[in-house]
Amino acid sequence: MDPQISERLTELYKILKKVGEENKAREKQKNKSCKMLIVNHHAESKVLREALDVVVDIRQTLRQYQKKLIASMNSSQPSGGVRRGALMKILQQSASALPLFIPDKPGEPAPPLCGSVPADPAYIAKSGDMIAAFVQSPDGDGSKVWVLGEVLHYITGAGKYEIDDIDEDHNTKDRHTIGRRRVIPLPTMRANPLTNPEALFPKDTLVLALYPQTTCFYRAIIDKPPEDFSHDYMVSFEDATYTEGYSPPLAVPQRYVIASREPKK
């Protein structure tokens, strides 16, 4: 096992052990005041958040290994068949592993980039962040599409991002340099419908959603929002081949559903 992951797992074990010991201590105190219960609740919440932070760090480390694996398969499989299958699996895993926002107290609003909550206007995506980017279509027909990308860095003086299309051959060193208005940061946390329903797109909302088994975002409407934090959205994509103008509902994770935007020409 990688030393970095081993170290973080050891830290996680210590934190969880601490939670268990504190729970046992509280069980011995049967007559507690309401104030003491609140204090204990906040203390336990803090420890659990520390554990979640460690889990996020481990996931990020694993994601770096996944990226290296994709690059390795890409170089050994020129056809790209194996690479695409692995990429689709990794994207699904990334969506499932997205941290869940846990409010400190009832009624606490979800922060920016949680579920449907957009980023602050001044927000600058960091290197390695996943985003939707409005770029030239890979079909070469001159059109532009929203694709899943990764931020390489932000060019402060120019107010532009340099990004990688997640589905392009990284060996070609092909990059896109685009303005901030053509970049939409993806959610960094999932919203829980039970605690923060306001952070989910309601039914019939027009959105951009990642079409299943692709790396492109298309316009769609929400058919059914998640009913549980582990559930996906059900969305219907715009599709002229159907009489109603929309496809049958398809499942798309919170990670890949964002507010619809039409970039200025």
Q: Can you tell me the distance from the alpha carbon of 208 to that of 213, in angstroms, rounded to the nearest whole number?
A: 15
Is residue 71 over pLDDT 90?
Answer: no
Rounded to 10 deg, the angle between the 81-96 and 34-76 helix axes is 180
Q: Which pLDDT tens digit goes with each residue over 38-64? A: 555 566 666 666 666 666 566 566 556
Check if the beta carbon of residue 135 is closer than 8 Å to that of residue 216.
no
Residues 199-223 have a mean pLDDT of 97
The amino acid at residue 115 is: G
> Across-strand partners of 250?
235
The per-residue pLDDT for 136 is 86
The per-residue pLDDT for 166 is 87
Q: Can you tell me the distance from the alpha carbon of 120 to that of 112, in angstroms, rounded to the nearest whole number?
A: 7
Evaluate whether the domain defined by 197-259 bears CATH number 3.10.450.40. no
Check if the beta carbon of residue 263 is closer than 8 Å to that of residue 220.
no
Between residues 235 and 50, which one has the greater pLDDT? 235
Check if the beta carbon of residue 148 is closer than 8 Å to that of residue 167.
yes
Is residue 35 over pLDDT 60?
Answer: no
Q: Which helix (H) or strand (E) covers residue 41, if one does?
A: helix 34-76
- Average pLDDT score, the chain: 82
Check if the beta carbon of residue 199 is closer than 8 Å to that of residue 117.
yes
Residues 182-208 have a mean pLDDT of 97
Question: What residues does each domain of the chain span?
Answer: 3-76, 197-259
Between residues 194 and 12, which one has the greater pLDDT? 194
Between residues 175 and 222, which one has the greater pLDDT? 222
The per-residue pLDDT for 148 is 96
Check if the beta carbon of residue 185 is closer than 8 Å to that of residue 119.
yes
Helices of type H across 77-183:
81-96
Is residue 118 over pLDDT 70?
Answer: yes
Query: What phi and psi values does residue 7 have, to the nearest 5 degrees?
Result: -65, -40
Rounded to 10 deg, the angle between the 3-27 and 34-76 helix axes is 160
Between residues 78 and 209, which one has the greater pLDDT? 209
Q: Can you tell me the distance from the alpha carbon of 159 to that of 161, in angstroms, rounded to the nearest whole number?
A: 7
Check if the beta carbon of residue 83 is closer than 8 Å to that of residue 73.
yes
